[in-house]
Amino acid sequence: FSISGHVNNPCNVEEEMGIPLKELIEKHAGGVIGGWDNLLAVIPGGASVSLIPKSICDNIKMDFDSLQGVQSGLGTAAVIVMNKTTDIVEAITRLSYFYKHESCGQCTPCREGTGWMFRIMKKMIDGNVHHEDIDKLLDVTKQVEGHTICALGDAAAWPIQGLMRHFRPEVEKRIEENQQRKAVA
């Protein structure tokens, strides 16, 4: 496992499959900066899998079946820890930009879809997105997922799907706050 992000001691460790995520982080990485209660989310298998919120992290085991059961994955076993200082929308937007940049452009769903996903995520950061854009974004992820020549399309879609699955209320709150700010200005 490669553990990075908001931990006291980022590290690479060899550990048995099935270790509880919390134990892995606390035993080898010195715990979450600010303590376990300061945990926001973890991407358990590298940038190509869906994030999981703290409520799932509390009891999840680091194995293929357990993570698949919560719509995530072990992937490369690159554990990315995010505490509550993380702007989760910005973090996923950065992943979205990476996949847009890395698309070879050979297949249309990936070439066009990664661009659409990044642009909508960027609009979210800039405060120029509306509630209906969330559904449009999820529709784009479904048009890309499973419709590309290689797995890059799936890898681009899953982090966004995880964001909306677990943090949609926070995303919607962000949209409302931005709309209220614009109405006052």
Residue 76 · residue 45 · CB < 8 Å: yes
Q: Angle at the Cα of 160 (from 56 to 126), degrees rounded to 5? A: 120
| Sheet of strand 39-43: strand arrangement | 11-12, 2-5, 78-83, 39-43, 52-53
Enumerate the domain spans of the chain: 2-83, 88-184
State the chain's mean pLDDT as an integer.
96
Give the closest residue to 162 by CA, choosing from 70, 78, 57: 70
CATH level 3 topology of 88-184: de novo design (two linked rop proteins) (1.20.1440)
The sign of the dihedral angle between the CA atoms of 61, 49, 74, 28 is negative
pLDDT value at position 181?
87
End-to-end CA distance of the chain: 48
Residue 164 to residue 185: CA distance in whole angstroms: 29
What is the per-residue pLDDT across 129-151, written as a single tens digit (0 to 9) for each?
Answer: 999 999 999 999 999 999 999 99
What is the per-residue pLDDT across 77-129, written as a single tens digit (0 to 9) for each?
Answer: 999 999 999 999 999 999 999 999 999 999 999 999 999 999 999 999 998 99
For residue 41, is pLDDT > 80? yes
- Cβ-based neighbours of 163, under 8 Å, separated by 6 or more: 51, 88, 89, 92, 171
What is the pLDDT averaged over residues 4-24?
98
Phi first, then psi, for residue 79 (nearest 5°) are -85, 115
Is the model more confident about 53 or about 127?
53
Q: How confident is the model at residue 183 (pLDDT cuts 50, 70, 90)?
A: confident
pLDDT value at position 182?
85
What is the pLDDT averaged over residues 68-75?
97
Class of the CATH-defined domain 2-83: alpha beta
Is the model more confident about 181 or about 35?
35
2-83 shares its CATH topology with 88-184: no
pLDDT value at position 184?
85
